[in-house]
Chains A and B, each alone.
Chain A
C-alpha cells in the first residue's frame, strides 16, 4: 500500500511530524514502512506554462516551435518534440536552469537552428512511472486543466510536493489497505483524532429500484450487494487532485467515473464496480456461481473460461463481471456512458481468491476481498462514490439503494484481565495504560475491576481473541518497554542425541581426512534421480515442478556431488574431494510420507597428494577412498562388521566397485565412476562412495574397553603365496585368520605381484603374519605348528601355495 502523506492529512492532523518520522513511528508499532519516496526529489525549476503559439519547426518535421508564457515578463520560445503539443495548452515547463530526475540540467540551446529556452515535459520526464500516466498523455506531454496559472510550481499543482510511504502489510493488517485504515492506525500511534470524509446527497425524484433489481443466488459467496444508479453523467477527466492522488497510489487515471470507484477503493478499502446501465442488458442483477465452461470477456480484453467454483455477476443471462476480480467488457463504462450502475458488495474471500488464482488475475479489488473487507463500509462507500459522481461527473443520483442483504455483522467482543496481559508480556502495565491504548485505537472498551472488555470495530477483522488484544497492547505500549528476562522454572538438560553427536563425528572425521562438506539440492531431474541409488525404490515427483531439472526428489547424493565436481572442473578447480550428509527420499505410495534416509556420500577426483618440487604425485584411487572408509569405520567401532564385496552397478566401473555390507546387509557402495560417465562430465578418474548414514550410526557397537598392552614379544612370519588371480585377498585373509586361531594377532598384505613373471592366471601375494600370546613368550615350535596349519588351509581352501 502506497500512502500519500499529503492525502493522509485529510483524515489525521500530521502537524509537527515529518514523513520520515511518521514512517519510523509506524514501523515501530507494527507495520513495516519499506520506503519513503519524496516525489519531487531531485527536481527543480518546473513551472506551469501557457502555450501561446505553436508552429512547425522550419527544419524538423517532428519538432514544434512554441511561444510559451511561463509567468515572466515576456514569453519564451521553446522547441518541443511532443506530437500532442498545441496552442492554448497549459503544460509543465522545465525552465532554463531547471533540474530533472537523473540530475538532468536544462540549458538554453539551439535545436536545428531554433532557440529553445527550456523544455515542455511529459509526466515520465518528471519522474513518474509510465504505467500510471493517463493513457492519452502516455506518448506525449501532460495537459493541465485550463485554470492553472502560468509561472506557478508545476510539481505542486501535480501534488508532487509530497512523500509516499510504502507499507509492507502482513496478511492480518488488510485494514490498512485503505487510507482510512491507515488514518486510524496513525491516529492511535499519535494519540490524535480521525476525521471522516463526508458525503452529501441530494435526493432525486426517481428511485433506483425502478431501474434495477438485485437477486443473489449464491448467498454464502455474496451476503451483501448494494446497487445505486446515477443518471446523466458526463464522462470526462476527473479533477486533477483526484488524478494525482490515484497516481501517487500507483493507479492510472481513466475517467471521472472509473477514477471515483478507484478513489473509494483507496479511501475506504471497498472495491466498487461501475457498469454502463444501458449496456447492462437487463433490469436485474443476478449473482450466481458460473456454469462450467461459461465464458466472459473481462475488461482487459481476455476471454476467460469459468467453472462452477467462480462467482459471476450476470444480467440474468450472461456474466457481466467476474465477482470481486474484474468487470466484463460488455458493460464497460465508456465515453458514451450516461447512466452508471454502481456496485458495492461484500464477496467472500475464498470465492474471490479461487477465481483470482485460477484465472491468474490479481487486481486491487481481488486483493482486498481475499483478505477480507469491512462489511460496515459497503453502503457508505456506495453513497460517497455516488456523491462524488454527482459532484465531478454531473450525475443525478437516484433515490435509495437496491440491496440484497443476508449478512449479519457481529463485531467481536473480547474480554481480558490485566493480569493475563502482564503475565504473557512480562510487563507491569496499569489498567489505565491499557484502557488508554484501546481508546487511542478507537475500540470501545469498558473496564470492570481487573477485566477489560473490548468491542472491536469491524474494520479490524484480525482481532478475535485475547492474544490479539495482548498484541495491540504490546505494540502500542512499545516493545522497547518490555523487559528482558530468561525463562524460569524447571530446567532442562540440553544435549545432542547420540545420533546427532555421532553425525558430527562423521563430518569432523571426513573433514579431517581432507574432504570439504558440500550442501546440494534435494530436487533433481528425472534423468538423474535413479542413478546411484542404494535402495531400489520409486522416486517422488513434484506435482508442479518449476523446471524439469528440479522436478524429483533425489534417491542418492552421488549425482549431485558429481555435478559439484563438474562445476568446479569447468572452473579449473581440479583435485577435489567433497562429501555431503543429507536425506534421500524413497516413495512410500501416494498416501504416506516417503521414507527419508540420511546418507553420507563423497566424490574425489584428480590428485590426492602432490608435492611438486619434491616430485610427489599420487592420484586418487580406489584405495584412497577405501582408506577413508576404513578410518571412518574404525572411528565408529564398526571395522569388524563391515565387508567389501566386488560388485557391478550402473554408472560405475565394472571392475572397480565394491558393495559395502554391514553385518551382512548392504549399506552402500564405493568405487570408480564409469569412464563413460567421467567423459560425459569431463572429469578425470573419479571415485565415490555413498552409505546409509542411518545404518552406520545406529549399528550396535561394543562398549569401549581397555585391553592390556602385550608384555611378551611377538613373532612374525612372512609368506609369499601363489594363488589364482581371481582369489581375492580378503578371502585369503579369512582363511589365514580362521586357521591361525587365537595365537595369530595380525595378518596383513605387504606385497602384490601380477606381472608377466607369473604363470598365466596366477598372482603372487605376500602376507605378514604376527603371532603372540599375552601370557608368555611363544616358542618357535609352537608358532611353526600353527603356521603349518595356516599354510595347509590356504592350499586346501584356495589352492594358494608358497612361492618356490
Chain B
C-alpha cells in the first residue's frame, strides 16, 4: 500500500508539473485529491489493515495529500501569475496616441502684465485703486493742473460726452479722487490700473482704447530719489536684474519735476540696435514729483506733503516683453494670439 501511495504521489507530482493552465491543473486536483480519486480509494482499502498499521498508514496518506496539495498550490500560483501577465500583455496600448484633452483657458496677456505689476507693488505696501472710466472734466484734467484751455490738453485729444463729462484719457483721475478722499492726510500708496480712451485712429501702434497703470505715493518726506529707487526695483523685477534704468527730464502738467524712465535694451545690451533705435535705451514710463497745484487742489498742504507718481502702458510693456508687433492684437482676441500666453511667466 505504501508503494502504491508513493507511486500515486510521483504520478500526481508529474501531472502537476505537466499542467499548462489552470483548467488542466484543476483536472489533476479532481483526479488525485477528489472523492473518487485513487488516494481516497487507498483510504477505503485501509479497513483491511490491522489496528496497529491503520494510524500509520493514515498518517502517510495525509503526508502524501499534503505534498500534492502543496505542489498544487505552488503550481496554481505560478499559472495564475502567468495568466495575469498574459492578460496585461494583451491590454498594451499605444502611449504615443494623443490624450483626452482637458479644456484650458487663460487670462489675457494684458491682465498678466497688470496683475504682475499689481502684485509687485502690493508687495511694496501699495493698494490697488480703481475709478470710473467715464469721468468729469474736473478729475480728468482740472484737478491735475490742466485747466480749460491748457495747451497740454491737446496732447490727449479726448472723447467727450458732454462739455463736462468725457471718457478718461488716463488713470490719473483715480489719483485725484483718492487724494480727495484722504482729505489732505497721508500717507497714500496706490497703484491704479484701468482702461483709458483717446481719439486715435487704430493702427499698429495706436488704439482708441488702451490700458494704463499708474502709481502714486504721497507722504511727508517723499523724495525724487525715492521715485528713482522705486522705479529701479520695479524695472529689475519686471524686466530682469541685469537691466539698468535711466531718468530723462520730461514734462507732464501734473508733475514737477517730470521724468521719463528708460531701461537698457536687452537685445543689444546697450550697444544700440533697431529695437532701441540705436540709443541702447527703451522708454518705459513717465513719472515725476506730484505738482504742488495738484496737491493743493486735493486738499494737501504742499509745504508739508510731497509725492511721486508714475504711469505706464501695459500694452507697450507686453509688446516689449513678448515681442508683439501690433497693438490691435490685444483687442481682436484672435484665439491663436490668446493661446500663446498659456505659459505662465
Interface residues of B (CB under 8 A from A): 97-98, 100-101, 103-108, 110-111, 115, 118, 121-128, 130, 132-136, 149, 151-152, 154-155, 159-162, 165, 167, 187, 189, 195, 197, 199, 201, 208-209, 217, 219-226, 228-230, 232-233, 246-251, 256-260, 289, 291-292, 306, 330-336, 338-339
Contact = CB atoms under 8 A, between A and B. Distances in A.
B134 A511 contact: no
B333 A567 contact: yes
A32 B248 contact: yes
Contact of B257 (A474, A519, A579): A474
A552 to B, nearest CB: 10
Nearest to B217: A487
A492 B221 contact: no
Nearest to B209: A521
B162 A465 contact: no
A576 B228 contact: no
A751 interface: no
A370 B260 CA distance: 25
B86 to A, nearest CB: 26
B105 A494 contact: no
B219 A489 contact: yes
B54 to A, nearest CB: 56
A146 interface: no
Interface string A493-513: 111110010001001001111
A491 interface: yes
A510 B103 CA distance: 11
Closest 6 pairs between A and B when the two form their complex, measured CB to CB: A426-B225, A514-B103, A170-B251, A30-B249, A426-B223, A471-B257
Contacts of B209: 521-523
A130 to B, nearest CB: 25
Given A487-B189, A487-B221, 10 more contacts: A29-B249, A171-B251, A353-B151, A482-B225, A486-B229, A489-B221, A516-B333, A517-B105, A519-B333, A553-B167
Contact of A517 (B111, B154, B208, B257): B111
Q: Chain B interface mostly helix, strand, loop or mixed?
A: mixed
Contacts of B251: 170-173
Contacts of B331: 519-521
Contacts of A594: 134
Given A172-B251, A353-B151, A489-B187, A596 B132 contact: yes
A546 B121 contact: no
Interface of A: 27-30, 32, 170-173, 349-350, 353, 370-371, 423-427, 465-468, 470-471, 474-475, 479-480, 482-497, 500, 504, 507, 510-523, 540-546, 550, 553, 564, 567-568, 571, 573, 576-579, 582-583, 585, 590, 593-594, 596, 608-611, 613-614, 616
Contact of A523 (B208, B220, B230, B256): B208
B108 A518 contact: yes
B197 A522 contact: yes
Contacts of A170: 250-251
Nearest to A624: B103
Interface centre among A468, A519, A543, A593 (most CB of B within 10 A): A519
B103 A542 contact: no
Contact of B248 (A28, A425, A510, A579): A28
A608 B103 contact: yes
A489 B155 CA distance: 36
A542 B157 CA distance: 13
A32 B233 CA distance: 25
Q: Chain A interface mostly helix, strand, loop or mixed?
A: mixed
Contacts of B149: 349-350, 353
B224 A494 contact: no
Contact of B219 (A171, A475, A487, A542): A487
B333 A494 contact: no
Given A30-B250, A424-B223, A590 B162 contact: yes
Contacts of A542: 159-161, 167
A540 B133 CA distance: 13
B221 A494 contact: no
Contacts of A611: 98, 100-101
Given A424-B223, A494-B122, A590-B162, A546 B187 contact: no
A473 to B, nearest CB: 9
22 contacts: A170-B250, A171-B151, A467-B291, A480-B247, A487-B219, A487-B230, A494-B127, A495-B127, A500-B128, A504-B115, A518-B333, A519-B333, A564-B332, A568-B335, A578-B333, A583-B133, A593-B134, A593-B165, A594-B134, A596-B134, A611-B100, A613-B98
B233 A486 contact: yes
Contacts of A614: 100
Contacts of B136: 593
A318 B222 CA distance: 58
Given A516-B105, A613-B98, A425 B160 contact: no
B106 A494 contact: no
Nearest to A511: B105
B16 to A, nearest CB: 45
B151 A514 contact: no
Contacts of A370: 151
